[in-house]
Amino acid sequence: MARKPNYRADRIERDRAKAAKKAKRSEARAEKSARAKGILPEDADMPDNGADPEQTATADTADTPEPDKTPE
């Protein structure tokens, strides 16, 4: 049996998808414009040129010596 149409809910869902798509395009346009003006670097969305933040954090902490753990 076919489902009963819910026009209002369907319209709300379409409008939500359309607004999300429009916002995504607007953000991409703004980012492209900023890069063209020289405000943003080319790799603004990729921290450390694609390096994994967890690996860099563990590498930074491995170089530091641990404090003395002597009881008083």
Please state the domain extents for the chain.
Answer: 9-39
Which tens digit of pLDDT belongs to each residue from 2-57? 889 999 999 999 999 999 999 999 999 999 998 888 876 665 555 555 555 566 55
**Cα–Cα distance between 46 and 54 in angstroms, integer?**
14
Question: Is the pLDDT higher at 3 or at 62?
Answer: 3
* Cα torsion through 6, 12, 13, 14, rounded to 10: 110
AA letter at 44: A
Please give the structure tokens belonging to residue 58.
């563990």
| pLDDT value of position 66 | 62
pLDDT higher than 60, residue 60:
no
What CA–CA distance (Å, rounded) separates 66 from 72?
A: 17
